[in-house]
Structure 1
Amino acid sequence: MDVSKLLNSFLGNEGTSGSSDKGQSPVDRINAALPGGFAGGAAAGGLMGLVLGTKKGRKLGGKALKVGGMAVVGGLAYKAYRDWQTNKTSGTEADPLNLPKPPADSGFDLENDQDAAGRDFRLAIMRAMISAAKSDDHIDQEEHDRIREQIQEFGLGQEEKAALFDYFSAPADANAVARLARTDEQRAELYMASALAVDPDTDEEQRYLAQLAQELSLPVGLKDHLDAEVAAVHRQVST
């Protein structure tokens, strides 16, 4: 399976900043990367644009992922995890999208990590985001049809197409997402990805996050640190 190509189809572009972005703030890069608004769907943000572009909270998390790609998840989760370990306050930084990359031996190396079944852990992150975004049943049959049409247009191989069809057709399932984790660090990353994919103001999605935290058996207090980093991202991309 070509994981990089599959992830690019989900995120829209590479999900990383090119050389022309040097000197730009994260918000400037957001505006440059998303002409016409994130709600424009796959043309603006890949399949993620279709899934996350329907509510304000999801759009904010989606913008962050559009700018930094999967690296945003690892950086934010690592910051929250370290703050939790050292009893420091999380979510106070002004530029959470530009957090330093976690050390390679930190357990937060998304690009080189495997899930509980030995698969590329970035796929688990993508599954977590899709599951969380579907937790309020907002994706109706028409939107499912649009997603299927878009998958067909990406020029993916049969294995990549089949994986995406499976991910999008599966119901929201916090337990299934939790089973993907192999380490406590991965549990923090799965929760972070899920929290970025929901609207924080809806009861259904908050219940899903609470259930996910329980299924992940997150240590006491860690969820609060992860939530604080998500809130910091929302503040940054909404200004």
Structure 2
Amino acid sequence: MDINKLLEGFLGSQGSAHPSKPRGHSPVDQIRSGLPGGLAGGAAAGGLLALLLGTKAGRKLGGKALKYGGMAVVAGLAYKAYQDWKQNKPSGNEAEPLNLPKPPDGSGFDVDHDRDHAGQDFRLALMRAMISAAKSDDHIDQAEHGHIRDQIKEMGFGAEEKAAMLDYFSAPADPIEVARLARTDAQRAELYLASVLAVDPDTAEERRYLDELARQLGMPDGLRDHLDLEAAAARRQLSAAESSSETGSS
């Protein structure tokens, strides 16, 4: 299975993958270009995540943060929250959380090379966690499910990638199954953070889902609060950047 192709289809194509195209100078572009090497895994426009979140009311800034920064945003934010929790430091107060450095080698926060409990690429587990969380409030009706399936079939995936993506999107929101994907404390933190970013929890259903996910993950006391604060900081940075961009273009 071509994992990179799956991720590109899920998060959107990587803007910096086309160096011949000039990059803009808006605050959002600056966030994107400021991500350290290896962190800008999925940027630019499009992607099935945007399509999934686009069916929800309001602006889902956590999902947009994932679109701009890719899976490594999850690693950077989760590592920062985990270290703050261990050292009893406050979280979510850095100026640019979306520009956090890549976690050091050996830290356990390496989404690009880690494996889940079943031995699969851990980025697939993060993708499944995001989809499950985004579906937790049952906002997607039958017609929207059909539209997402049609888009999957038209995205140029191979048979294996297409089957996997259809399975992920057709599966019910299930925090128990998501929690079973983790095999380390770092992965538990990353799965929870990815889920929070995917929903910007603003409904009772989403909050109940995240409560149950945290319970199933066996989240240590206090760690969940640090992860929530980092996710909120990422949303604030992107919101400020988008507001500034809109003001500058008006």
TM-score by structure 1 length?
0.89
Show the counterpart of 2:102.
101
Q: Which deviates more from structure 2 when the two are superposed, residues 215-224 or residues 48-57?
A: 48-57
User: Counterparts of 1:112 and 1:81 in 2: how far apart (Å)?
Assistant: 19
1:67 aligns with 2:68: yes
Are the equivalent residues in 1 in contact too, given 2:196–2:210 (CA < 8 A)?
A: yes
Show the counterpart of 1:141.
142
CA-based RMSD of the aligned residues comes to: 2.3
Show the counterpart of 1:132.
133
1:224 aligns with 2:229: no
User: Counterparts of 2:127 and 2:66 in 1: how far apart (Å)?
Assistant: 11
Show the counterpart of 1:199.
200
Show the counterpart of 1:9.
9
1:168 aligns with 2:166: no
1:143-162 CA-to-partner distances (Å, cap 9, x unmatched) read 11111111111111111011
Greater fraction helix:
1
1:42-95 CA-to-partner distances (Å, cap 9, x unmatched) read x94210111112346762012111111011000000000000000000000121
User: Counterparts of 1:12 and 1:83 in 2: how far apart (Å)?
Assistant: 31
User: Counterparts of 1:210 and 1:106 in 2: how far apart (Å)?
Assistant: 26
1:208: how far off?
0.6
Are the equivalent residues in 2 in contact too, given 1:73–1:192 (CA < 8 A)?
A: yes
1:7-41 CA-to-partner distances (Å, cap 9, x unmatched) read 10001113767657879576235799xxxxxxxxx
Are the equivalent residues in 2 in contact too, given 1:26–1:97 (CA < 8 A)?
A: no
1:151 aligns with 2:152: yes
Are the equivalent residues in 1 in contact too, given 2:31–2:98 (CA < 8 A)?
A: no
Letter in 2 for 1:216: L
Question: What percent identity do the matched residue pairs reach?
Answer: 69
1:166-215 CA-to-partner distances (Å, cap 9, x unmatched) read 10000000000000001000000000000001132211101111110000
User: Where does structure 2 lack aligned partners over 5 or more consecutive residues?
Assistant: 34-43, 241-250
User: Counterparts of 1:125 and 1:48 in 2: how far apart (Å)?
Assistant: 12
Letter in 2 for 1:116: H
1:79-121 CA-to-partner distances (Å, cap 9, x unmatched) read 0000000000000012110000001210000000000010000
User: Counterparts of 1:82 and 1:160 in 2: how far apart (Å)?
Assistant: 35
Are the equivalent residues in 2 in contact too, given 1:10–1:48 (CA < 8 A)?
A: yes
Q: Aligned in 2, Cα 1:26/1:8: closer, same or farther, shift over 3 Å? A: farther
Q: Aligned in 2, Cα 1:15/1:190: closer, same or farther, shift over 3 Å? A: farther
User: Counterparts of 1:26 and 1:70 in 2: how far apart (Å)?
Assistant: 21
TM-score by structure 2 length?
0.85
